């Protein structure tokens, strides 16, 4: 299905570029790229293709959505971003939070994810319980990403590679540790670490291990571990799709 992007004013486009510069500075200063990527993903990942509800429409600004168990810690991201958002009242929260995710990937050495402005803010958060559960396996991943969101096996594996950034915090998720030895660099090391087996001090969640045990997922893991360019290309495409769920549907 093609996209039919809304027309935004020249002033709006210029504002997006200005906000991007401010986001680069904030993320570099605070080393918060992983948190910003999580904010963008969790904002978008609530989309339900059947009911056409949820998705990347700025609802994470509401305390109610921040209080969902899967969003533990994201109030910090919202708080860090608010002073920049206040400088650009013309921007929707929906665009701003997705822009922060795009900048987080770019500033840590990852691929350039295309960004199309024009998302509108929705007034109400989606119901709780739509985001993936890291303690579950491949059936659950497909239920959430394919049946609910409308993404693919390839998208699931490529997006999982985003765990090259960041770490788990026990007080937020119940898990502790990073997936890679350099959690502030976006590269294909999530896949190389996954294939090399469990190591002291590095994290592998049940949802990570599912990528190895599932016969449809594993070939993508092997491909991305061997070819970072292939991972970057597929990641950029999957991130774009995630960031535009329910947006500009033609």
Q: Is 42 a catalytic site residue?
A: yes
Residue at token pair 């990570």: 208
Please state, in angstroms and rounded to a whole number, the distance separating the CA atoms of residues 108 and 247. Answer: 26
Distance, first Cα to last Cα, the chain: 7
Position 141 scores a pLDDT of 98
Please state, in angstroms and rounded to a whole number, the distance separating the CA atoms of residues 169 and 146. Answer: 27
Position 229 scores a pLDDT of 98
Backbone angles phi, psi at 55, to 5 degrees: 100, -175
Instruction: Decide if 43 contacts 97 (C-beta within 8 A).
Output: yes
Q: Measured on CA atoms in the order 58, 59, 60, 61, is the torsion positive or negative?
A: positive
Q: Beta strands of the chain (E only): which ranges?
A: 167-168, 177-178
Instruction: Pull the structure tokens for residue 167.
Output: 């770490």
User: Please, which residues bridge with residue 30 across strands?
Assistant: none
Q: How does pLDDT run across 63-96, given as a tens digit for each residue?
A: 999 999 999 999 999 999 999 999 999 999 999 9
Q: How does pLDDT run across 118-146, given as a tens digit for each residue?
A: 999 999 999 999 999 999 999 999 999 99
Position 250 scores a pLDDT of 73
DSSP per-residue codes, 19-56: HHHHHHHHHHHHT-HHHHHHHHHHHHTT-BTTTTB-SS
Question: pLDDT tens string for the chain (250 positions)?
Answer: 589 999 999 999 999 999 999 999 999 999 999 999 999 999 999 999 999 999 999 999 999 999 999 999 999 999 999 999 999 999 999 999 999 999 999 999 999 999 999 999 999 999 999 999 999 999 999 999 999 999 999 999 999 999 999 999 999 999 999 999 999 999 999 999 999 999 999 999 999 999 999 999 999 999 999 999 999 999 999 999 999 999 999 7
Please state, in angstroms and rounded to a whole number, the distance separating the CA atoms of residues 101 and 238. Answer: 13
Q: Which helix (H) or strand (E) holds 10?
A: helix 10-30
Q: What is the mean pLDDT of the chain?
A: 97
Position 1 scores a pLDDT of 56
Position 12 scores a pLDDT of 98
């Amino acid at each position: 299905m093609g996209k039919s992007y809304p027309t935004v004013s020249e002033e709006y486009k210029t504002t997006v570029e200005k906000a991007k510069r401010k986001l680069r500075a904030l993320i570099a200063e605070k080393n918060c790229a992983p948190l910003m990527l999580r904010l963008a993903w969790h904002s978008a990942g609530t989309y339900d293709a059947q009911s056409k509800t949820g998705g990347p429409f700025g609802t994470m600004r509401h305390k109610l959505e921040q209080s969902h168990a899967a969003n533990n810690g994201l109030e910090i991201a919202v708080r860090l971003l608010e002073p920049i958002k206040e400088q650009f009242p013309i921007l929707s929260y929906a665009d701003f939070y997705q822009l922060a995710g795009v900048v987080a990937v770019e500033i840590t050495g990852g691929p350039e994810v295309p960004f199309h402005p024009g998302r509108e803010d929705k007034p109400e958060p989606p119901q709780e319980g739509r985001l993936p559960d890291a303690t579950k396996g491949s059936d659950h991943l497909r239920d959430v990403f394919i049946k609910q969101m409308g993404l693919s096996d390839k998208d699931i594996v490529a997006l999982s590679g985003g765990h090259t950034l960041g770490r788990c915090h026990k007080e937020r998720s119940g898990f502790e540790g990073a997936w890679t030895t350099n959690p502030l660099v976006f590269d294909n090391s999530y896949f190389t670490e996954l294939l090399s087996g469990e190591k002291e001090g590095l994290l592998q969640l049940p949802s990570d291990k599912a990528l190895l045990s599932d016969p449809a997922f594993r070939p993508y893991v092997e491909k991305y571990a061997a070819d970072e360019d292939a991972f970057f290309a597929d990641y950029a495409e999957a991130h774009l799709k995630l960031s535009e769920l329910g947006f500009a549907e033609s």
